């Protein structure tokens, strides 16, 4: 008798867990709205126009208008740094409260 590797409820549980964790990525505040460099020059005004393979993001039907072999690749890197120094703290007693 072969028993399933995962119980029947494992897949729905995994989908529910992933859908709960995905908003955390958006709350980080780092969004790079550039899909293709070809549309960045016009402030993404022509992003649904079938000029290159990046059309699949906004207009998948536009792929039927492309001729030949098309490849589109993108890379975004955010290198954020922060430095915090404690310049001293103020207690509530020093402010005349509590």
Q: Quick check: is 22 in a domain?
A: no
Question: Residue 97 above 70 pLDDT?
Answer: no
For the beta carbon of residue 36, count every other beta carbon within 10 angstroms: 20
Q: Quick check: is 55 in a domain?
A: yes
In what helix (H) or strand (E) does residue 9 lie, and over which residues does it extend? Answer: none
Which structural domain, as residue segments, surrounds residue 75? 30-80
Number of domains in the chain: 1
What is the model's pTM?
0.43
pLDDT digits (tens, 9 = 90+) for 5-38: 655 677 888 888 877 776 666 665 666 777 777 7
Q: Quick check: is 47 in a domain?
A: yes
pLDDT bin (cut points 50, 70, 90) of residue 3 is low
CA 69/CA 79 separation, integer angstroms: 34
Q: HSE-up of 15 (CA within 13 Å, CB side)?
A: 4
């Amino acid at each position: 008798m072969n028993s399933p590797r995962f119980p029947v409820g494992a897949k729905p549980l995994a989908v529910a867990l992933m859908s709960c964790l995905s908003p955390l990525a958006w709350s980080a505040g780092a969004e790079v709205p550039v899909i293709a460099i070809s549309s960045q020059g016009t402030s993404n005004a022509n992003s649904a126009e079938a000029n290159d393979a990046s059309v699949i993001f906004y207009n998948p039907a536009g792929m039927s208008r492309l001729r030949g072999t098309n490849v589109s690749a993108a890379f975004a890197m955010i290198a954020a740094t922060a430095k915090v120094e404690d310049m001293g703290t103020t207690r509530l007693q020093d402010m005349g409260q509590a």
